[in-house]
């Protein structure tokens, strides 16, 4: 009964979405306030309906209702509660329903919090959102119905892939989708602005918080995914340039560019056409990501769907959305004229450079991801585009970007002085030189690329800190004055500091863990030990253990350094029954200096076991850095400037913005 | 990875009832000679796991990846040079097993693409900068008498600003 209720709610949601996609748009065109006013309640009703459907599916999973095909195929009564919940989106149909849920939640958020948007504009935004919803609802209802019944119901379900039964992966898809779908807001705002033919600072100010929120979620989603790969897949690889990873990375690159270019629109009324185009492209890449993963075009750990009929539908939808929005762009964009002028060496110029390199990098990833499909389709030739290609092409593009991202925030708007900016970064330069010399001394035999690599990371962090020190006028004015400045300076600027420093941390983590990793493969007998760098691992034997839905062998290793015991590590190799599958559960010990990583494999038959050990220096900086970036984004989001729906403050803000704009313009 | 999962799943389903699934975590035994082992590992890093997506056989815990690692170790022990061992595998599985696609007519666009993108981006931005009025000119051109008058009026005549 609940499944039918959910199905029915989806059908109703589709009809509401159809109304919401058309009537408010016509109303805004005709100036009919009644029709315009329909957008808000429609968005709310649609949200309630999709929530009902999602709740119905969740209920079916929680009660293990195996008469629902989706539940029977992906769940099992013995599965822990968390994975019953995450099982809802651990499959094709359910994950699409999650996509839809997030889409309508964003729509409802505009309806509720978009009070300061002009009503016709809000109606257009919501209409565009509803158009996307129509596409996805049709897709779910006609090709991927999660509420299909299976009669007679089986006694138990087939279970969830054990690799996916993991807390990191339980929350990975929701965050990723919050990111993907969050960019639909930028898209809807861009299309609505194109329909109106007006893009200005106010538009950028409305778009920025949504883009920023989407970017934070996407960053977190990608970080969770790579963390999961690190401890669950193979032995400690965290990024494989897998097409599915690339599918999430491309919107991230484009979204990062969008985040930066929209600053220029907001502050300087320039780069408008490009920003609108970027908003369209970012969401198109999010859709492409969904298409790549969901259509079965790629086969990879995330690709649950293998039905080509679905692929054709998504491809058609993709073409309609991208071609439609780009046509609208081609018609409307030439009429929009950019405002503020600036020289190439200026804050704006720095942001243009950022966009240039991010867009090129994004295009490179797109080429590398799609080229094997393209070549296969055209010539039937099969090739693999693996990490070496991306390291060789993507890597060099990132170097100038990373060097420049330290200088950009030091440049003034309109026209800057590069030498002056570098002079203001003298401490950062000194720190970078020190880091260069220190790595040279400490790791004279290390891979030579690691030395500039570490220095680059230090450069970004030190420059971010020095820029913040300039903002506070630290040590130039009395400390009390600096504290006052700390409280008064805009949070968005601090967001930049955190996020940029986080990027530097990611670089350091990547460089150090790649360059100085120590790896040991060894067949060990009970009582034997092996040296891994400065650490000794002593094998204390292996014992069978029973988990809630698996059986395992657990190895025990005593880890010591200079004769002092530092840890006991217990990796497992697990054998799941529903579905039957073997997985390795690495034991990871995170210390200040990095991670120790231990894997236990097969018994060799004569009482010894094959094992793998790693010492991965500073690898945790990668995820700490990502968290810093997310924190920076959230902190910037809390800036009062971004807070929407505060009408009382609006006049003051508008006046302040006007004064600022007129002063900047003169 | 998923293919690995699916295949082992399929296999397990076929065998269900006849054989219990064996322990088969693919952590393997290294060669005794560290020089040979290092050479084998370097080759492992260039080959993709046949059933995963973009993972090298060195990084993968799939059974098929282990089999391939064992094969490479056998070739190296048998006295093959690195190139010979690599082409032994490529002859059997095609260019597809190489993580770095070879440079040939079919991959020209792929290898030149990123450089072309960069050049295109730089040129279009250079053209864009050139075609718009220079901010330096705009900033240094003296105001006309009319503009002076308007400025004076806007600033409020005589008020110190």
Q: In chain B, what is the greatest distance between 2 CA atoms, to the nearest angstrom?
A: 101
Q: Please report the residues numbered 562 through 581 in chain A whose beta carbons come closer than 8 angstroms to any beta carbon of chain B.
A: 573, 575, 579-581
Q: Please report the residues numbered 11 through 50 in chain B whose beta carbons come closer than 8 angstroms to any beta carbon of chain A.
A: 12, 16, 21, 23-30, 46, 48
Size of interface A-B (CB pairs under 8 A): 180
- Regions of chain A with pLDDT less than 70: 234, 295-308, 338, 578, 641-666
For chain B, say whether A160 makes contact (Cβ under 8 Å).
Answer: no
Distance to chain A for B80, nearest Cα, Å:
22
Q: Which residues does chain A have within 8 Å of residue B54's beta carbon, measured at their own beta carbons?
A: 240-243, 300, 384, 386-387
> pLDDT (tens digit, 9 = 90+) per residue, B73-129?
888 888 888 888 888 888 888 888 888 888 888 888 899 999 999 999 999 988 888
> pLDDT (tens digit, 9 = 90+) per residue, B134-157?
555 555 566 777 777 787 777 765
Q: Which residues does chain A have within 8 Å of residue B29's beta carbon, measured at their own beta carbons?
A: 521, 523, 604, 610
Separation of alpha carbons A644 and A638, rounded Å? 11
CB contact under 8 A, A386 and B28: no
Query: How, if at all, do strands A594-603 and A580-585 pair?
Result: unpaired
For chain B, say whether A51 makes contact (Cβ under 8 Å).
Answer: no
- pLDDT surpasses 50 at B26: no
- Name, in order, each residue with C-beta under 8 angstroms of A397's C-beta and a sequence gap of 6 or more: A357, A360, A361, A364, B114, B118
- pLDDT surpasses 60 at B5: no
DSSP secondary-structure letter at B152? H
- Least CA distance to A611: which residue of chain B? B27
Secondary element (H or E) of residue A1: none
Q: Which residues does chain A have within 8 Å of residue B107's beta carbon, measured at their own beta carbons?
A: 371, 375, 383
Could you say which of A344, A382, A389 has the minimum Cβ distance to residue B96?
Answer: A382
pLDDT score, position A484: 81
CA distances (Å), A19 to each of A40, A119, A652, in order? 12, 17, 37
- Classify B26-118 by CATH class: mainly alpha
Write down how long chain B is: 161
CB contact under 8 A, A610 and B122: no
B27: left (phi over 0), alpha (psi -120 to 50) or beta: beta
pLDDT score, position B9: 41
For chain A, say whether B77 makes contact (Cβ under 8 Å).
Answer: no
pTM over 0.80: yes
CB contact under 8 A, B136 and A612: no
For chain B, say whether A662 makes contact (Cβ under 8 Å).
Answer: no
Residues A71, A220, A226, A568: what is their CA dihedral angle, to the nearest 10 degrees? -90
> pLDDT (tens digit, 9 = 90+) per residue, A406-456?
888 888 888 888 888 888 888 889 999 999 999 888 877 778 888 889 999
At residue B57, the 3 state secondary structure works out as coil
> pLDDT (tens digit, 9 = 90+) per residue, A446-482?
788 888 899 999 999 999 998 888 888 777 778 877 8
What is the per-residue burial (b if ≥16 Cβ within 10 Å, else e) of A391-415?
eebbeebbeebbebbbbbbbbeebb
């Amino acid at each position: 009964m609940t499944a039918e209720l959910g199905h029915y709610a989806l059908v109703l949601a589709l009809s509401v979405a159809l109304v919401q996609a058309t009537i408010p748009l016509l109303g805004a065109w005709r100036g009919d306030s009644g029709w315009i006013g329909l957008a808000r309640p429609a968005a709310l009703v649609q949200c309630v309906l999709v929530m009902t459907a999602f709740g119905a599916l969740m209920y079916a999973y929680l009660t293990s209702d195996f008469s629902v095909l989706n539940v029977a195929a992906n769940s099992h009564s013995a599965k822990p509660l968390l994975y019953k919940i995450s099982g809802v989106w651990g499959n094709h149909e359910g994950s699409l329903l999650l996509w839809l849920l997030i889409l309508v939640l964003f729509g409802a958020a505009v309806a509720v919090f978009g009070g300061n948007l002009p009503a016709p504009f809000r109606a257009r935004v919501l209409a565009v959102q509803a158009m996307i919803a129509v596409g996805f609802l049709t897709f779910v209802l006609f090709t991927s119905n999660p509420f299909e019944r299976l009669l007679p119901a089986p006694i138990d379900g087939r279970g969830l892939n054990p690799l996916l039964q993991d807390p990191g992966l339980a929350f990975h898809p929701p965050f990723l989708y919050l990111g993907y779908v969050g960019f639909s807001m930028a898209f809807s705002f861009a299309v609505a602005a194109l329909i109106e033919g007006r893009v200005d600072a106010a538009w950028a100010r409305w778009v920025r918080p949504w883009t920023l929120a989407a970017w934070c979620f996407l960053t977190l989603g990608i970080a969770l995914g790579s963390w999961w790969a690190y401890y669950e897949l193979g032995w400690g690889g965290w990024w494989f340039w897998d097409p599915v990873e690339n599918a999430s990375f491309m919107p991230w690159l484009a979204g990062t560019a969008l985040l930066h270019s929209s600053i220029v629109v907001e502050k300087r009324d320039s780069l408008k056409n490009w920003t609108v185009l970027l908003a369209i492209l970012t969401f198109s890449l999010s859709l492409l990501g969904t298409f790549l993963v969901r259509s079965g075009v790629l086969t990879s750990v995330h690709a649950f769907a293998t039905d080509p009929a679905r692929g054709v539908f998504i491809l058609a939808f993709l073409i309609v959305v991208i071609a439609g929005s780009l046509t609208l762009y081609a018609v409307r964009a030439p009429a929009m004229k950019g405002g503020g002028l600036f020289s190439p060496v200026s804050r704006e110029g720095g942001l243009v450079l950022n966009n240039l390199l991010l867009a090129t990098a994004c295009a490179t990833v797109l080429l590398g991801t799609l080229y094997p499909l393209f070549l296969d389709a055209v010539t039937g030739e099969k090739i693999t585009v693996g990490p070496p290609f991306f390291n060789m092409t993507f890597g060099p593009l990132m170097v100038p970007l990373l060097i420049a991202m330290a200088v950009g925030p030091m440049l003034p708007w309109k026209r800057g002085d590069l030498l002056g900016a570098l002079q203001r970064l003298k401490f950062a330069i000194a720190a970078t030189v020190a880091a260069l010399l220190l790595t040279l001394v400490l790791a004279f035999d290390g891979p030579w690329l690691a030395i500039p690599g570490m220095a680059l990371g230090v450069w970004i962090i030190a420059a971010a800190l020095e820029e913040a020190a300039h903002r506070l006028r630290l040590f130039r004015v009395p400390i009390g004055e600096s504290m006052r400045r700390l409280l008064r300076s805009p949070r968005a600027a601090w967001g930049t500091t955190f996020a940029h420093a986080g990027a530097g941390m990611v670089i350091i983590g990547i460089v150090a863990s790649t360059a100085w990793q120590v790896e040991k493969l060894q067949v060990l007998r009970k009582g034997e030990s092996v040296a891994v760098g400065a650490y000794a691992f002593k094998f204390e034997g292996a014992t069978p253990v029973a988990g809630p839905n698996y059986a395992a062998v657990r190895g025990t290793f005593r880890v010591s350094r200079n004769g002092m015991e530092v840890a006991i590590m217990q990796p497992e190799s697990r054998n799941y029954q529903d579905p039957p599958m073997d997985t390795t559960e690495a034991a990871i010990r995170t210390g200040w200096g990095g991670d120790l990583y231990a894997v236990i494999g097969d018994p060799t038959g004569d009482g010894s076991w094959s094992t793998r050990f790693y010492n991965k220096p500073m690898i945790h900086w990668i995820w700490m850095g990502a968290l810093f970036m997310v924190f920076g984004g959230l902190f910037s989001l809390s800036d009062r400037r971004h807070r929407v729906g505060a009408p009382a403050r609006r006049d003051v803000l508008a006046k302040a913005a006007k004064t600022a704009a007129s002063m900047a313009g003169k | 990875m998923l293919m690995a999962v699916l295949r082992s799943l399929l296999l397990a389903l076929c065998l269900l009832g006849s054989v219990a699934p064996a322990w088969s975590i693919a952590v393997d035994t290294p060669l005794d000679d560290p020089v040979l082992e290092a050479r084998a590992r370097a080759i492992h890093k260039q080959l993709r796991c046949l059933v995963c997506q973009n993972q090298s056989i060195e990084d993968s815990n799939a059974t098929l990846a282990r089999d391939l690692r064992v094969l490479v170790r056998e070739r190296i022990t048998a006295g093959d040079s690195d190139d010979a061992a690599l082409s032994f595998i490529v002859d059997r599985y095609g260019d597809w097993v190489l993580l770095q696609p070879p440079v040939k007519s079919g991959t020209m666009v792929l290898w030149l693409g990123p450089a072309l993108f960069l050049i295109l981006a730089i040129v279009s931005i250079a053209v864009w900068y050139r075609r718009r009025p220079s901010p330096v000119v705009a900033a240094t051109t003296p105001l006309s008498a009319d503009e002076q008058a308007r400025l004076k009026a806007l600033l409020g005549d005589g008020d110190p600003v």
